Structure 1
C-alpha cells in the first residue's frame, strides 16, 4: 500500500475554519487533532490514505514545497512571502480572510501621508513581501524581522512602523496603532507540491476537485 497523502494544516486562526471544510470533502481528523493541549503533530483521519500534520502557518509552505507533505492549507500571505516555485495553489478556499497592512502610532499618523515616504523602517514577519511592496513604490524599506509581538516595536523604538496581518483592528487599537496602508488582501489557499501533483495525480486530483466543489457550493462561485 502506498504511503498516505499528508495534508499540512496551520495552527492558529485558520484552523477553526478549516475543520468544516475538511469534513465537507470527507476528511475527518481523529479527536486529538482538535485538542489544543495535544503535543502531537501528526494525526490519522477517517481515511487510511490521508494523514494530517498540524504545524505553524509559515512551516506549512515549507513542508509542502520540500515534499514532506503533498498538500497543505495556508494563507496567501505566506505564499507571497516565500514564493516557492515548487508550490501550486489551485484553489482559493475563501476562508481565513484578513489583510496585510502597514500600521503606525496614531500620533504619527495624524500628520503622515504614505505617498510621501522615501524611506521606512518596518518591523514585520514578512520582510520579502514588504520589501517588494515598497520597492514597487520607489520607497527604500529597512525591514526588521520579528516573529511576533509586532505591535510593541514602535512603542519601544525598534521601528516607527509595522507590517502585519489585520482582521478587526482591535489589537492595533489596543497598542495605540492605526492602519495607514493595505498591502494585500489575504485568504487561505489549498497548495500542492508540483512534483507530487504529477507523480500521485490519481490520489491528489480527486482531493483538489473535492475542495474546489466544496468552495463552489459554499460560495456559488467556481473556485479559482
Structure 2
C-alpha cells in the first residue's frame, strides 16, 4: 500500500530531503523531479505544495503524512494529528519594530502574516491591539507607517536588521512538524509506523 507524504515546497522541502536521506531513504527521484508536483519513489508518493495546502491535503486524506512548519498548525489549526517535531526548520516568532521606538500613547497597530497567532499572543498579555494582515514583506509596515510593529517568523534576523528593525520580544520557538491524517493512522498503521518510528529515532538521537 502506497504511503502519500505531502511536503512544503522550498526551504522545508530541501531540509526534509536531507533528513530523509540521513535515514537511508532514496531521495534521487525527489531531487531530480524538475517541475513535477507529484513524484513516486518506491512505496512513497510525494506531493509538493504550500504549507497551508499541505495541512489541507492531510486533513482531507489526500496525503497520509505531511511535513509543515509549526506556524501553520498554530495559525490555521487544521484538523490533523500532530505527530512529532522534526530536527530542522528552526525559527522563532518575534515582535519587531524600528530602533528607539517611543512607548505608544495609543492602541498599537501590529502587522503580520499571522493574525490569529498575533491576536492570541497580545490577548494573553492583556493588551488590545489592531492587527493588520499582510501577505509578504511585513518589514515594510513600520517603515512606511502602516504599523507600529510586526510579528513575523525570524530565522537569522538579517532581513530585520537590513530594514532597521530590532526584536523587542520573542513569542516562541518553532520547528518543522510531522502531521498525519487521523483515519490513515488507523487504516495504514502497518505502513506508517516504520516511517514514524524512523523519524522519532532521529529526533531522539538529536
- TM-score scaled by structure 2? 0.91
Equivalent residue for 1:146? 134
TM superposition shift of 1:27 = 3.2
Confirm whether residue 13 of structure 1 aligns to residue 11 of structure 2: yes
Equivalent residue for 1:40? 36
TM superposition shift of 1:178 = 0.7
Matched position secondary structure for 1:190: strand
TM superposition shift of 1:12 = 2.4
Confirm whether residue 91 of structure 1 aligns to residue 84 of structure 2: yes
Gaps of 5+ in 2: none
Alignment CA distance shift 1:139-1:41 (3 Å): same
TM superposition shift of 1:124 = 1.0
TM superposition shift of 1:117 = 8.6
Confirm whether residue 65 of structure 1 aligns to residue 65 of structure 2: no
Alignment CA distance shift 1:25-1:180 (3 Å): same
TM superposition shift of 1:34 = 3.1
- TM-score scaled by structure 1? 0.84
Cα root mean square deviation, aligned: 2.0
Equivalent residue for 1:22? 20
TM superposition shift of 1:119 = 3.4
> Could you list the per-position Cα deviations for residues 77-124 of structure 1 after superposition, in whole angstroms to 9, with x for gaps in the alignment?
21111122x21122211211110111111131xx44xxx898331111
Contact 1:121 1:161 in 2 (8 A): yes
TM superposition shift of 1:26 = 4.1
5 Å-filtered alignment, 1:133-212, equals 133-212=121-200
Give distance in 1, aligned partners of 2:49 and 2:165.
Answer: 30
Contact 1:30 1:44 in 2 (8 A): no
TM superposition shift of 1:16 = 2.5
TM superposition shift of 1:212 = 0.8
Confirm whether residue 120 of structure 1 aligns to residue 114 of structure 2: no
Count of matched residue pairs: 206
Equivalent residue for 2:72? 78
Give distance in 2, aligned partners of 1:118 and 1:136.
Answer: 19
Gaps of 5+ in 1: 220-224
Alignment CA distance shift 1:161-1:25 (3 Å): same
Alignment CA distance shift 1:141-1:5 (3 Å): farther
Give distance in 1, aligned partners of 2:119 and 2:105.
Answer: 14
Contact 1:93 1:187 in 2 (8 A): yes
Alignment CA distance shift 1:157-1:34 (3 Å): farther
